[in-house]
A and B are shown apart, each in its own frame.
Chain A
Amino acid sequence: DGGITQSPKYLFRKEGQNVTLSCEQNLNHDAMYWYRQDPGQGLRLIYYSQIVNDFQKGDIAEGYSVSREKKESFPLTVTSAQKNPTAFYLCASSLGVLGYEQYFGPGTRLTVT
């Protein structure tokens, strides 16, 4: 079964703690993305990666970091510098970035108190 997995589904953390969200895909896609979704807003791009060992900042990268050491994996770390980390985080992948459809994982709901 090809697809994208994210874990955990729900995550609770205290302020000041870093937390890492997992994203794995077995679709053999080159490009991977991280978005956050807040109520009533469209998805906003945090980081994306077109190829292994390369990644670019999206529109709201401050307070986040990523790595892309393997084609299948694109973990996101939410650091204590992120001012409003509570959100629904979605990972996606696509064949490439040039207008291709993106496919999403089931998401991780992060709550920071």
Chain B
Amino acid sequence: RKEVEQDPGPFNVPEGATVAFNCTYSNSASQSFFWYRQDCRKEPKLLMSVYSSGNEDGRFTAQLNRASQYISLLIRDSKLSDSATYLCVVNRNDYKLSFGAGTTVTVRA
């Protein structure tokens, strides 16, 4: 089983729509969780850390479900500029990070 699994998508949504997707992780001892955004042929950029209580940053909301071992990302009021691949990242027992292969979101006009 992969350490971090994501639905590759693509999720095609119209501007203004809400889109949400999850990622599952295998290590129940993981303590650190992040969402990164990666544009085509560019480096990943940190979007947000994910806290136990859930957190929000503008139009982006991240949730953590430890019991079911998944984290989610919700994007409200989608913009064309939100089109990207979103990487789910979780720490391992040795504190190194495991990266999911990414979920691609395409926002259309």
Interface residues of B in 68-109 (CB under 8 A from A): 87, 91, 95-102
Pairwise interchain contact B96-A98, C-beta atoms closer than 8 A: no
Q: Name the distance in Å between A32's Cβ and chain B's nearest Cβ.
A: 13
Count A-B contacts at CB 8 Å.
44
* Stretch of B12-20, B38-46, B58-66 on the interface side: B38-46
Q: Give complex CA distance A106, B38 in Å.
A: 11
Pairwise interchain contact A90-B95, C-beta atoms closer than 8 A: no
Closest Cβ neighbor of A91 among chain B residues:
B43
Pairwise interchain contact A58-B44, C-beta atoms closer than 8 A: no
Interface residues, chain A, CB within 8 Å of chain B? Answer: 35, 40-43, 45, 48, 58, 88, 90, 97-107, 109
Q: Give complex CA distance A45, B96 in Å.
A: 9
B49 contacts partner chain A, Cβ-Cβ < 8 Å: yes
- Number of B interface residues in the complex (CB < 8 A): 22
Given contacts A90-B44, A106-B42, A107-B43, contact A43 B99 (CB under 8 A): yes
Interface residues, chain B, CB within 8 Å of chain A? Answer: 4, 8, 31-32, 34, 41-46, 49, 87, 91, 95-102
Pairwise interchain contact B44-A43, C-beta atoms closer than 8 A: yes
Q: Give complex CA distance A93, B83 in Å.
A: 26
A35, A42, A97, A101: the one contacting B49 at CB < 8 Å is A101
Pairwise interchain contact A40-B101, C-beta atoms closer than 8 A: yes
28 pairs of residues in contact across A and B, judged by CB atoms under 8 Å: A40-B8, A40-B101, A41-B101, A42-B4, A42-B98, A42-B99, A42-B100, A42-B101, A43-B44, A43-B87, A43-B99, A45-B96, A48-B96, A58-B96, A90-B43, A90-B44, A99-B32, A99-B91, A99-B95, A101-B46, A101-B49, A102-B46, A102-B97, A104-B43, A104-B44, A105-B43, A106-B42, A107-B43
Pairwise interchain contact B44-A42, C-beta atoms closer than 8 A: no
- A107: chain B residues within 8 A (beta carbon): 42-43
